Structure 1
């Protein structure tokens, strides 16, 4: 059973929130973020005004996937993580 776009947004927000609160994460989480964002960006049910936030999250996950020190990358994006979580939560 495929996840609805709301389920995908919930999962995306949960991972970002965990990165924000734990200040750590894994490469597999960054890869999951990428897959979720790709799926959401092509979904016509997703509002156009959300697409810039999703693109920002995609860029964050790409950089995190290849970061030599992922935890430092996550820590450097603490403010953005909070903003993204808040922005994505407005769509629920």
Structure 2
């Protein structure tokens, strides 16, 4: 049995919060974020504004996965990470 939409959003928020707080992460976390977002985007009942946020986060994860330094990539996105967590909170 897979995670519910609520659990997926909570997990996504936890990963982004960890990236923001620790200024570090892993390629595996970026891959997990991509899988979560793909699953969430398959839900046709998802709020349109949240979809836009998820698309931005997906792009962040893709670039992080291929970045020479994941820590530098996360550091460059600190402001966005904070905003994304706040945005996700406003939709959940």
Give the shorter-chain TM-score range. over 0.9
Count of residue pairs the alignment pairs up: 92
Tell me if 1:55 matches 2:60: no
In the alignment, structure 1 segments of 5+ residues that lack a partner are none
**SS of 2:29's equivalent?**
helix
Map of 2:74 onto structure 1: 74
Write out aligned runs for 1:20-39 (5 A). 20-39=20-39
RMSD across aligned C-alpha pairs, in angstroms?
0.7
Map of 1:15 onto structure 2: 15
TM-score normalized by the length of structure 1: 0.97
Runs of 4+ in 1 over 6 A off after TM superposition: none
In the alignment, structure 2 segments of 5+ residues that lack a partner are none
TM-score normalized by the length of structure 2: 0.97
